[in-house]
A and B are shown apart, each in its own frame.
Chain A
Amino acid sequence: MLTTILSSIRAHAGRLFASALAISLGVAFAVGTLIFTDTLKVAMIQSFAQGDQGIDVAVLPPQATTPNQSGHGGGDGESKIIHYLAPGILTQVQGISGVKSASGQLIGPAVILDKAGHPYGGRGNSFGVGVPSDPSFKWIKVLSGTRPNTSSQVDLDSNTVATLGLNIGSTITVVGKSGLPQKFQVVGIISVGLTQAFNGSSIIGFTPSEAASVTGQAGFREIDVIAAPGVDQTILSNRIASILGPNATVETGATKTFNDENAVIKRANAIENALLTFAVIAILVASIVIANTFRVLVTQRSRELALLRCLGATRNQVFKAIISESFATGVVASGIGLALGVLVAIGLHGIFGAFRGGGIPSAPIQVTVRTFIIGILVGVVTTMAASVLPARNATRVSPLQALHHHSDTSFGGALTVKRLATSVSLIAVGVLIIVTNLGANASLPLIAVGGALAFVGLLIFAPLLVRPVMTVLGIPTRIFGTTGKLATLNTIRNPSRTASTSAALTIGLALISLFSVISSSLNASIDSTIAKNFPFDFVVTTALRGTTVPSSIATSANKTNLFKYVNEVRSGQAIVNGKSQDISGVTPVLLSQSQLMITSGSLANFGASGTAVISTSLAKNLHVKVGEPITISGGLSTATALPPPSTSTVVAISNNLAFLSNLVIPVTDFAPRFPGVGDDELFLTAMPGVTLVQARAQLQKEIDPYPLVTSQDIGTFESNLSNKIGQILALFTALLALALLISFIGIANTLTLSVVERTRELGLLRALGLTRPQVAYMLALEGMLLAVMGAVLGVAIGIAASWGIVLVLNAQGVTVFSVPISLLIVDVVVAALAGILASLIPARRAANTAPVVALAIEE
């Protein structure tokens, strides 16, 4: 029996090639993801290991008290409060017996200006650090040159040096907390082991005291301790902990390394899961392609299978033969997939690097045994699972078919009551799940399940759509005369094959149009939010995360009398009723100008000291109503201590605070708790009678001394936000590209198989006078029709699904449902062209059919 199977695979290897390729690509995506994230983990762990190297005890800021943090998935107040260790603690640690030396890690905002005077790296990609003078603290290693000795000397990381074309001896301009440019001389090149390593940030190393002055950061992220000889890590760690008490968290070097590695792995796993979702989509599409191939192969070989049955093969043997064939296909395809996976990993590294706007750390490519096993398993199991149904169909081939002299073409996909019932009930259940989960208590996972059910139902129903859809789509092909008519009819002759071929593409396009519609709706919502809520002329922001717009700009802008409103928005993190919470401080008049949806209370009462506006979700979370007090503690630690707790009264609750935090207090209350913090944004409106040109010029003059601060007209501000959403859409599309490629391979595959099947018929058409180009046109039109059907169906599903999601996200501020019609039309047209491209190889084969085969091949 084994010889029969093996010789069969050899003979059909060509026909299996395309579908094996589909599986290979799916496996490659999964394997690439694992390789990429494993490599990332190693790179990040290496980066941490550098920071933790040789450290006996690490002193960290006290853990924020966030009792609600676990068990509350991704809601309000998730963001961690970053505390700093006051400089006094370093002195205290240095004095503890058993401590040989101690050094604080000082990290804060600072950025280099490039030759054009623009900040290099953009938002959040640049930091200033204090380089310890003692080389035993290895979180900063000097690769060449020296450590900064004077306040005018700096070290730079190797990436930045290379990118900006700098060298030791170069003079650079740096902007820090003050917002004012300063000149420094580069004296060394360093590598830094940091949590931010993933961002590929630009790092500027100052002397510790200069670092504090440039970044405005007095406290330390971490204090590293090296024990005196003979002093045990654990004993020293306990001693330091008992002396520092609640002001710090103290860990041994070993614990710190362990915790850091866990944090890295957790972070990499989150990326891995997101990417694997796309890998699963690619594999799903590939499994549709392979199921299709096996179904066609079984049909084409029904005569051979019938003969085997005649000669005494049991149904079980036929089933096993098909499954063994799929097993072998799966093994080969997975093997190829493993190899391709390395390329995918490199590609993902590139995509993420580009998306992150900076390099991401790299390490030697990591191919683990886990990756190898998962890759093979995924490929083999998917292939075998996809061939189970075709194999079952194969067992139903009657032995009698071996005696028939003509193999009859199967016209599958008939509408049975069972099929219709399954389809309708799946769609009904899916839609029901979605509808019942819409609204305030929306659960996205359940909606996804509902969507998946409805989608499967639709796929079962799809063969029924083939005839009407193709009849309509076929109308334009009439300009090709008989060729077009034949092409349309060919797509209708086997509706279930047509449907499942298009279905592979439908999945990809449904997701792309889903993302397109949602991002378009997001954009439209932002536009309308900004237009409605912030009817201002200018927005002033800063280009470096961690820095703010100096408050002096607001003050002097007010003095010019050119602006009717100068509204400030500041933000920080504090603890509200014991829970970590983002908090906004605003100029009170900003809220009354904005059309925020107030559900209870009134904005009229907001503005006096001790008043607060909160979001409905926070109100629910904290169980507070209008008129009730909330306690705010924490804030920005100064060199000495945290500000004391204070009480505010909730005066209004809003459904939609736009991009303000869930807790809003007057800027006058905010300032004392967050001393020295400037504005995130300034929203300005020109005085009546003052032209925009005049106002803009004045504003430019105010911000001119601060290279990081930029002023934008409100329209530019909107389009910048849109650009960000566009980038995310581009990332999604890039990640779906492989699934799309696989579905087009599926189209090429189906066409090739049907050309093989129709050899006699093609010969007959040639004998009857169809020219070679006409045969090729016919196949091209078939490919196009298949692609357009899949694409149109996908776009329709995508629009429907995104409509549901937009309804759900209404509470989150996505208030406008906007369909990017031209973009979706482009998608369909591109799909049509790709369908024609997919037909090239099968069309060539079909066109080469000699008329004589119509008579020659009897079986």
Chain B
Amino acid sequence: MTASQPKIQNDNAVATYNAVKIYGKIGSESAVTALNGVSLEVPLGQFLAVMGPSGSGKSTLLHCMAGLDDLTSGNVIIGSTNLNGLSDRQLTRLRRNSIGFMFQSFNLLPTLTAEQNIRLPSDLAGSSVDEKWFNTLIDLLGIGDRLKHRPSELSGGQQQRVAAARALLSKPTVVFADEPTGNLDSKAGALLLGFLRSSVHEHGQTIVMVTHDPNAASFADKAVLLADGQIIHSIESPTQKSVLEALETLGA
């Protein structure tokens, strides 16, 4: 680490400082600025919702925070690790140990059973599973009787709950969820969001969730609104109403 990098905040699960992401050749006409100086600290044990219209840069922010894409300038720090300049091997290790993922389209491996899918990250890492935590997760998610089934035999809600168990099993520093309720009906969505919220409040998990659904955001501790690559609003303890109002000002 060089001296020019900011002091690391150890009580943050993940933080970005002045994050800039430009696609295309800088200065050329085709260059697109997706992130234009985003600074954001997510303390440990926070459920953060990232909101914004299409093209606001919310997905890019998630990719960059998770180390799947690199910044043009600025810093991303996960736990105590600055992502700048990490090799593919180091990033892979970071993903294994510190990051959990949830996707809009669930992304379970169709050939594996639910339980195999849940255990896959630990299998890949060759690490042992905390069996007590595994059982707790299964109970909380209510998927105990679905473990031997393959994804095609599960409903969308069940699939996403399996994906949630997969993301949380290793107790990662932070879970990134990309529109996790986007493909779920409202009932299944509420069930999942309730679980995510309780995992934050009762088990100290940190979650960063990208969503465009104000209702989903209302489950979070905090919501930030992105537009044109910048954070323009930050709402503590968001409700559906407060989020909608903030979105309306955006439209105005």
Report which A residues bind B (CB closer than 8 A): 1, 3-4, 7-8, 10-11, 304, 307-315, 317, 398-400, 402-403, 405, 858-859
Contact = CB atoms under 8 A, between A and B. Distances in A.
Interface stretch (B78-86, B98-106, B140-148, B187-195): B98-106
Given A4-B120, A7-B112, A400-B63, A312 B125 contact: yes
Given A311-B101, A312-B92, A400-B69, A3 B123 contact: yes
Given A7-B111, A7-B112, A403-B63, A311 B68 contact: no
Given A310-B68, A399-B95, 18 more contacts: A4-B112, A7-B109, A7-B112, A308-B120, A308-B124, A310-B107, A311-B121, A311-B166, A312-B93, A312-B95, A312-B96, A312-B125, A313-B124, A315-B89, A315-B92, A400-B69, A403-B63, A403-B178
B88 interface: yes
B24 interface: no
A858 B104 CA distance: 12
Does more than half of chain A's interface fall in helix, strand or loop, or is it mixed? Answer: helix
B6 interface: no
Interface residues on B, range: 20 to 34
21 contacts: A1-B124, A4-B120, A4-B123, A7-B112, A10-B111, A307-B109, A308-B109, A310-B95, A310-B101, A311-B120, A312-B96, A312-B97, A312-B125, A313-B92, A315-B88, A317-B124, A399-B68, A399-B95, A402-B101, A402-B103, A858-B105
A585 to B, nearest CB: 79
Give the top 5 A-B pairs by smallest Cβ distance, nearest first: A312-B96, A7-B111, A11-B111, A400-B68, A311-B121
A403 B64 CA distance: 12
B182 to A, nearest CB: 10
Given A4-B109, A403-B59, A403-B63, A311 B124 contact: yes
Contact of A3 (B88, B112, B126): B112
B116 interface: yes
A11 B110 contact: yes
A307 B107 contact: yes
A11 B103 CA distance: 23
Contacts of A399: 68, 95
A311 B95 contact: yes
A1 B123 contact: yes
Nearest to A2: B123
Contact of B105 (A310, A313, A405): A405
A7 B95 CA distance: 24
Contacts of B116: 3-4, 7
Contacts of B111: 4, 7-8, 10-11
Interface of B: 59, 63, 68-69, 88-89, 92-93, 95-97, 101, 103-105, 107, 109-112, 116, 120-121, 123-126, 166, 178
B105 A314 contact: no
A312 B112 CA distance: 17
Contacts of B92: 309, 312-315
Contacts of A1: 123-124, 126
A404 to B, nearest CB: 10
Nearest to B178: A403
Contacts of B105: 405, 858-859
Of B104, B107, B125, B126, the most chain A CB neighbours within 10 A belong to B107
Contact of A402 (B107, B121, B166): B107
B46 to A, nearest CB: 22
Contacts of A400: 63, 68-69
A75 B109 CA distance: 65
A403 B99 CA distance: 15
Contacts of A3: 112, 116, 123
Contacts of A317: 124
Contact of A314 (B89, B103, B107, B112): B89
Contacts of B97: 312
A400 to B, nearest CB: 4
Contacts of B109: 4, 7, 304, 307-308
A11 B112 CA distance: 10
Nearest to A10: B111
A16 to B, nearest CB: 14
Nearest to B89: A314
A4 B113 CA distance: 10
Contacts of A8: 111
Nearest to A12: B111
Nearest to A315: B88
Contacts of A307: 107, 109
Contacts of B104: 405
A324 to B, nearest CB: 14
Contacts of B69: 400
Contacts of B96: 311-312
A11 B150 CA distance: 12
Contacts of A304: 109
Of A10, A398, A402, the most chain B CB neighbours within 10 A belong to A402
Contacts of A310: 68, 95, 101, 107
Contacts of A11: 110-111
A767 B114 CA distance: 35
Contacts of B63: 400, 403
Nearest to A307: B107
A398 B66 CA distance: 13
B68 A403 contact: yes
Contacts of A308: 109, 120, 124
A578 B103 CA distance: 87
A787 to B, nearest CB: 34
A724 B111 CA distance: 58
A156 B63 CA distance: 88
A662 to B, nearest CB: 68
B124 to A, nearest CB: 5
Contacts of A859: 105
A845 to B, nearest CB: 19
A10 B116 CA distance: 15
Contacts of B121: 311-312
A309 B109 CA distance: 13
A418 B67 CA distance: 31
A858 to B, nearest CB: 7
Nearest to B150: A7
Nearest to B91: A399
A8 to B, nearest CB: 6
Contacts of B110: 11
Contacts of B124: 1, 308, 311-314, 317
A64 B209 CA distance: 92
Nearest to B104: A405
Nearest to A314: B92
A318 to B, nearest CB: 10
